[in-house]
Amino acid sequence: MNPGPDVDYVSHWVWSACIMNVNHQSEYFDACGVCQLLMPCRRDQSLTMIMSTLHRLETKLENIPSSILSDLQSLRGQMNTPGHDLQMHSLPALGDEGQLMPTLPTAGDNFTPAAAGDGDDFELEESQIKPDSAGRVSISFSQHGVIQWPGARQILPKQLLATYEMLGKNYVIELESERPPLSMFTSSFPLQAGDHWLEVLPLAMIRGLADAFFDVFNPFTPIMDRGFFFSFTLGSAIESGFGYNLESCLVLNVLALGCLAVLAYQEGNYPLPGTQGHRFEPPDWINVVYEEQPGLRFFNEARRRIGFLMCDNDIQSCQFYLLSSVYYNQIPRPMDSWAMIHRAATCCLSMLTNHQVNFDVWEGDMKSRVYWNCLMNETILVQELHLPSSGLSRLEEQVPIPKFIGFETTGYASNRFISSSGVDDSYFQYHFLAQVAHRIILTRIRHSLYFYSDSGTFPLPAVNTELHHQLEQWRTNLPTSIQFNHAPYSSHIPSSHPTPGTPSIHPSPAASVASPAQLSSPRPRPTDQTRSRTPGTAVTDAMLHGRYLIARFHIGRPYIYKALSIPHLLTEEDFVQVRSGLQNAMGWPVTQGVFRRMKSCIPIRFAFCSQFFGQILLFYCIAHSPSQRVRETLPDGWERWNEEMLGFLEDCAPNSPAVAQDLDLLRSLWPEN
């Protein structure tokens, strides 16, 4: 699909005059004259138009060419389980004016692998050890499952396999579940303030931490509405003296994450929101963020209060559990994070079932926002660790993607917020909508490509081609403002950002590798390589580019499975896909550039640790394959990338027993070190 003039028109308004002409005398609102008259504004239309563009893209993704339809239909018997008839899950359509439109054709009309499972397929993936009647085996999507691949087990050191057998396949869940609970101790600030320290917190500190949260964490996980928070939530919490109410719980969680956000500003040497300088200058209250676990004093006070409110299932309760999940993600404590996601999912199910929800008003749109945040974060942990799912995906056809309707109160128009850093919220909203569309593609990859047969029939080439096409359609149709430059990973690392001295993998085969540029789709427009404006934009942009690499890597992963199992049956196209998968497993942006220092705001850290654990095993197996042609698929710079991944795991290991155990397993790959 070639991007039409409407795409250019949409992206043009992302950086419209309304955004550029910021009224710096107003801290957050930038209402143009039209907005002040309560009339529809072009800036308000831009978000609707981008959603419409994404819907048109989604419609084209559903229209799979008839030339490969038979290949896809051949998967139906494999993918259906008793009592689990696969249906096509798609986002409810949105018209140009934001209204709901009829859903896309059903699976019977035009079959497409499901966009999301409801949990039963995870059991199938784990239980299907032997081939079915057609000789097909389901491949685990989990990176921790790589160690169970038959082809990998023939290559991995016996010591590593013996240790793994002693641990058991569920060692990650067991280690994380058995770790000591998070400390319940609360350190007042300042220390002499006593038990009522929250009531005497300086307003400048509260505002500074809240601003940092909204400029760093909320952009890529838009759980909270900035307008409602500053208009009502914050005031209610302060007026109650941080009493036992949901407003206090929400504010305390925001302050806890704000501490981590301020550390990210310091690590990246960014000026704090509201300051005039060009580098980080510590505020008078900076010491509040310096704890053994930053933000824990606020988080514990929130946990203390939620105990009396645990049965509430409204929007604010859902937001609290999602914020708690984000905090646990940053520590990282994956099982605690999963527990909070499950609790948030219960809130979503309570709000969205057996109730009529108007998604065209602010409250309904907020329910849509928390739903999609919850669903996407749940999917990551459920797929990696095979944890029980909440069943939230069953509502996917009924819940539209959020429109980010602005909060309105009597006497005031709905205004789009400008963050304190000067970046319009719509910039991040486009990122979030692109993330929703990407999730559909990534889950289709899992449902339609992750099959293997000893005959070499699977993965199906036509399905692979179509999935690559869908991913490139997603990428090329992003608005210009959030387009990214996809440059191949370089093994050169500037001396200003040294990599930890971790062991290299030897021997390094003399690989004859095709140019990575030949494996990519048309080169996107060049983008400005200068430093991101804020930590929030740095994270959001890195995650968008990273999702593209992740999807390409996971498309190539079944071919790596095939290369390790039956290297003698690989076709020339198979070798290309193996090489492409390995190339796209390298240079993920959250480990590069400013993130070598700015680690406090790296999202879903445990998920990245899991990805890197599996990737290191894959690179080792390919490097030690008995087939020379398989070894030659290793891309340039893979050894350097292995060192970077090991360094990332070493950074996280002190805070996670599962990551520490993963690191110990990986070290047995090189017993001489």
What value does the mean pLDDT of the chain take? 80
Confidence at residue 510, expressed as pLDDT on a 0 to 100 scale:
35
Confidence at residue 277, expressed as pLDDT on a 0 to 100 scale:
85
Residues 563 and 619 in one domain: yes
Which of 353, 384, 415 terminates a domain? The answer is: 384
Find the mean pLDDT for residues 32-49: 48
Alpha carbon distance 41, 78 (integer Å): 50
**Does residue 578 form part of some domain?**
yes
- pLDDT tens, 293-349? 999 999 999 999 999 999 999 999 999 999 999 999 999 999 999 999 999 999 999
Alpha carbon distance 261, 283 (integer Å): 14
**Does residue 573 form part of some domain?**
yes
Confidence at residue 491, expressed as pLDDT on a 0 to 100 scale:
54
Least confident segment among 72-81, 139-148, 396-405:
72-81
pLDDT confidence tier of residue 267, bands split at 50, 70 and 90: very high
Closest CA to 288 of 198, 372, 421: 198
The residue that leads in pLDDT, 438 or 94, is 438
For the chain, what is the domain count? 2
Confidence at residue 486, expressed as pLDDT on a 0 to 100 scale:
77
- Tell me how far the alpha carbon of residue 324 is from its chain's centroid: 16
Residues 140 and 285 in one domain: no
**Does residue 76 form part of some domain?**
yes
**Does residue 250 form part of some domain?**
yes
Alpha carbon distance 627, 141 (integer Å): 25
Confidence at residue 58, expressed as pLDDT on a 0 to 100 scale:
54
Alpha carbon distance 388, 381 (integer Å): 10
Residues 161 and 200 in one domain: no
Residues 146 and 209 in one domain: no
Strand partners of residue 29: 417
Confidence at residue 480, expressed as pLDDT on a 0 to 100 scale:
87
Residues 435 and 509 in one domain: yes
Q: Name, in order, each residue with C-beta under 8 angstroms of 435's C-beta and a sequence gap of 6 or more.
A: 376, 543, 544, 547
Closest CA to 489 of 648, 651, 639: 639
Token reading at 420: 């304190």
Residues 199 and 156 in one domain: no
Share of the chain above pLDDT 90, in %: 64
Residues 306 and 453 in one domain: no
First to last CA, the chain: 51
Closest CA to 393 of 99, 105, 53, 84: 84
Confidence at residue 370, expressed as pLDDT on a 0 to 100 scale:
98
Token reading at 30: 């930038």
Alpha carbon distance 226, 424 (integer Å): 12
Confidence at residue 52, expressed as pLDDT on a 0 to 100 scale:
61
pLDDT confidence tier of residue 499, bands split at 50, 70 and 90: very low
pLDDT confidence tier of residue 612, bands split at 50, 70 and 90: very high
- pLDDT tens, 579-595? 999 999 999 999 999 99
Q: Which residue has the tokens 């319009």?
A: 424
Residues 234 and 274 in one domain: yes
pLDDT confidence tier of residue 514, bands split at 50, 70 and 90: very low
- pLDDT tens, 143-199? 999 999 999 999 999 999 999 999 999 999 999 999 999 999 998 998 888 889 999
Residues 139 and 221 in one domain: no
Residues 161 and 272 in one domain: no
Which of 368, 384, 400 terminates a domain? The answer is: 384
Find the mean pLDDT for residues 24-43: 42
What's the domain range around 84? 5-169+423-488+503-667
What's the half-sphere exposure (Cβ side, CA atoms, 13 Å) at 242?
22
The residue that leads in pLDDT, 122 or 640, is 640
Residues 462 and 351 in one domain: no
**Does residue 401 form part of some domain?**
no
Confidence at residue 59, expressed as pLDDT on a 0 to 100 scale:
54
Residues 309 and 442 in one domain: no
For residues 645 and 616, the answer to whether their CB atoms sit within 8 Å is yes
pLDDT confidence tier of residue 127, bands split at 50, 70 and 90: very low
For residues 72 and 107, the answer to whether their CB atoms sit within 8 Å is no
Which of 384, 401, 436 terminates a domain? The answer is: 384
Q: Name, in order, each residue with C-beta under 8 angstroms of 411's C-beta and a sequence gap of 6 or more.
A: none
Closest CA to 417 of 226, 272, 217, 234: 226
| Whole-number Cα distances in Å, 632 to 152, 329, 476, 508, 624 | 17, 37, 31, 10, 11
Q: Give, as one character, the DSSP assignment of residue 81.
A: B
The residue that leads in pLDDT, 206 or 529, is 206
Confidence at residue 518, expressed as pLDDT on a 0 to 100 scale:
33
**Does residue 182 form part of some domain?**
no
- pLDDT tens, 406-461? 998 754 444 445 555 556 788 899 999 999 999 989 989 999 999 999 999 899 99
The answer to whether the pTM exceeds 0.85 is no
The residue that leads in pLDDT, 499 or 599, is 599
- pLDDT tens, 526-536? 343 457 889 99
